[in-house]
Chains A and B, each alone.
Chain A
Amino acid sequence: MGFPRLLGITLQALVLGTLLFLAVARLVGLESGARIFRYQAF
């Protein structure tokens, strides 16, 4: 496997890994009902 292909795979892994982490974090948040509280007068 040449360097450019390895670099491409690394970039893909970084982007997908970050998105996967954020998506799982959001999913955990939604599942546990975590949310940012906003004031409502009624």
Chain B
Amino acid sequence: MRTIRFLLQKEFRQIFRDPAIIRLILIMPVIQLMVLPWAADYEVKNIKLAVVNQDHSEYARQLVNKITASGYFNLAAYSGSYNEALHQIEEDKADVVLQIPAGFEKNLVKENEATLFMSLNAINGVKASLGGAYLGSIIQDYNRLVRTEWIQMPRFSPETQIAITSSNWFNPLMNYKYFMVPGILVILLTMVGANLTAINIVKEKEIGTIEQINVTPVRKFHFILGKLIPFWLLGFVVLTIGLTIARLFYGIVPVGSFFTIYVFSAVYLLAVLGLGLLVSTYSSNQQQAMLLSFFLMMIFILLGGLYTSIDSMPEWAQWITRFNPVSYFIEVMRMVVLKGSSLADIRIHLLIMLGFAVFFNGWAVLSYRKRT
């Protein structure tokens, strides 16, 4: 116990003397949480639309007005030639071309049928498919408007129609920030936990102080605890800063209890700290540790359900996410913050995370050798 006291005292002295760590802990969460949720949401906006209007009719004008009024599209070009508009796509000045052929109004009125042509720049796949879908639904909407204007609708529609009303549970306004902020907080905790621990230990390897420790009777278990505890506590500091920002700037107050969040975070931090330890035992210098944790972070973030929904991944990728601690924490955060889940609701997640913690730390302790 006495040994641990000395190890902790030394570690805290070093941490508080390192301005880089303090800056990292205080500034990183603030910047990430203030900037990212605004920029990184799932909605596609500002789609650049090039209109090829070869009809010059009232209806064509109305349609274009309706599209630009939707707020999703910016009118980037307006011309009479399709080739000209295609050129805009080639130069990346337009994402979508909508061609209104000559005779659009005439056909619509006379034949009750008209065609439009849409071409999409699919280099940015998300923008193209969502843009196409938005445009399609606006045109459908317009179509209905025209029909009601022209045709006296019978009392009972000859066509069967299903009307849908939906309500969004747990996030009624579909506010993306409610969804993103808890997720970004998870990434922050992961980075602080895994990277700082790994770099800290590898730094001692580089300087040679770890050899000096290895030649003392300090047990490796004590040494590792002396490294884990300070970064575990720092993780709580980051979590608290993050939850405060979520509340002050985004008005996000967890529906569930803070207690649940902190209990799960405690176990989660143990798991990522263990991972950091593991990275450090397999790296002999800071560059190696950085690259290895960067590689892991990429996988964790992209396969963690923050930016892409896990349910829409292929089956094999969904299997990978089951071995990704980040995905559990993101799920738990969203459950507790948005849905108000309690400890009992997340017990399976908690058990799995405990498993991760035991696995990573156990592996790290076993592979740490005082003697080579």
- Do A and B interact? no
